Amino acid sequence: MLEYQNLSLQIINFLIPFLVGSLIFFSLVVAPNVFISLDQKSARKFIRSIFPKLYLYAFLISITITLLIIYHGKIYSVLFFLVSSGFLFSKIFLVKWINDVSDVKQKTSQQIKKFKILHSLSVSIFITQIVCMTIVYFKI
Boundaries of every domain in the chain = 2-139
8 Å CB contact between 140 and 9: yes
Return d(Cα 98, Cα 79) in angstroms, integer: 26
Q: What is the pLDDT of residue 107?
A: 84
Question: Under DSSP, is residue 20 helix (H, G, I), strand (E, B) or coil?
Answer: helix
Low-confidence residues in the chain, pLDDT < 70: 1
Q: What is the pLDDT of residue 1?
A: 66
Counting beta carbons within 10 angstroms of the beta carbon of residue 106, is it exposed (0 to 12), middle (13 to 18) or buried (19 or more)?
exposed
Amino acid at 72: H
Return d(Cα 35, Cα 32) in angstroms, integer: 6
Shortest CA distance to 131 belongs to which of 83, 68, 66?
A: 83
pTM confidence score: 0.92
Q: What is the pLDDT of residue 105?
A: 85
